[in-house]
Amino acid sequence: EVQLVESGGGLVQPGGSLRLSCAASGFTFSDHYMDWVRQAPGKGLEWVGRIRNKGNSYTTEYAASVNGRFTISRDDSKNSLFLQMNSLKIEDTAVYYCARDSGAVKFDFWGQGTLVTVSS
């Protein structure tokens, strides 16, 4: 069974940093691109970024709203995905989901999400 479990969310002050993790199981993690998607309270979905697999040199893509502040990485030996968030802003407050990307055409499995609250 495919499972994605996010962790690391919490309350952080504006300007602070936080690192989210996503533990994957039930599939060959190293084969897949992985993505982060967020959802502000009461709002729609916003794609945050993507990391490709080893065969594609672990290259990354980011939304303009987070580019230069957020960094996506992965550890295939630990079946883990990470989102390092720096210089956090109030508008980064959201539930953050990791998602398995299949064939770069669909996000076919999602984690349950972890809430990040940026507030003073």
Partner 1 sequence: IQLTQSPSFLSASVGDRVTITCRASQGISSYLAWYQQKPGKAPKLLIYAASALQSGVPSRFSGSGSGTEFTLTISSLQPEDFATYYCQQVNSYPLTFGGGTKVEIK
Chain positions contacting partner 1, by CB under 8 A: 35, 37, 44-47, 50, 61-64, 97, 104-108, 110-113
Closer to partner 1 at the Cβ: 2 or 11?
2
* β-strand partners of 103: none
Q: Six-digit token pair at 6?
A: 């996010």
**Closest CB 25 distance from partner 1, rounded Å:** 16
**Closest CB 36 distance from partner 1, rounded Å:** 11
**Closest CB 13 distance from partner 1, rounded Å:** 26
Q: Six-digit token pair at 105?
A: 């055409």
**Closest CB 66 distance from partner 1, rounded Å:** 10
Within 10 angstroms of residue 116's Cβ, the number of other Cβ atoms is 21
Closer to partner 1 at the Cβ: 29 or 62?
62
DSSP 12-38: E-TT--EEEEEEEESS-GGGSEEEEEE
Reference 96, options 107, 110, 108; nearest CA is 110
Decide if 63 contacts 40 (C-beta within 8 A): no
